[in-house]
Amino acid sequence: AILEGADVFVANEGLIKQLPTPLSVHVYRLVWRQMILFAHNIVIYVVIAILYPKPWSWADLAVVPALALIVLNAVWVSLCFGILATRYRDIGPLLFSIVQLLFFMTPIIWNDETLRQQGAGQWSKIVELNPLLHYLDIVRAPLLGAHQELRHWMVVVVLTAVGWVLAAVAMRQYRARVPYWV
């Protein structure tokens, strides 16, 4: 949603100029498309869960509100970066570089426990500053049956609230200008 969100208004230039629809409609379409892609990819998890069953608990249902928070965040991120990248077209490539860096800093293909076990505690503190870690953990922990930490949920909820305030301010200030910028 970060990278495609930056291009959401430019990609829908024709619709924005021709139809009197709210700008948020284009963002909702983008987030809906991302949810459909996620639904296609979650099938792999379901197959693995059937082949290698694990004991389920009520804590595993935390994935539902976690996904709801991810969707809520995808909307405000797409709105903010969409407006910013529509005004400043160089933001898209810059975001691509930043997201690529954040990907390698996020424990997706490596485990953050490895840093702590190898005595690289200062690096694990830097990893904690990466917001994608918290979003990943609130979804990954319930799916894997791992222990969920409250701090991840708190960071995500705070970022969601702050992000929606930023999105509301951005929409109020720049909504009328976006059709001229595309």
Residue 121 has a pLDDT of 65
Digit-by-digit pLDDT tens for the chain (182 residues) are 889 999 999 999 999 999 889 999 999 999 999 999 999 999 999 999 899 988 888 888 999 999 999 999 999 999 999 999 999 999 989 999 999 988 888 888 777 777 777 766 677 777 888 899 999 999 999 998 888 889 999 999 999 999 999 999 999 999 999 999 98
Structural tokens at position 98: 């930043």
Q: Is the dihedral of CA 125, 126, 129, 134 positive or negative?
A: negative
Residue 155 has a pLDDT of 96
Residue 138 CB coordination number (10 Å): 23
Is residue 62 within 8 A of residue 149, CB to CB? The reply is no
Query: What would the pLDDT profile of 46-82 be if each residue is shown by its tens digit?
Result: 999 899 988 888 888 999 999 999 999 999 999 999 9
DSSP 129: T
The residue behind tokens 């619709």 is 15
Residue 147 has a pLDDT of 87
DSSP 59: G
Residue 25 has a pLDDT of 95
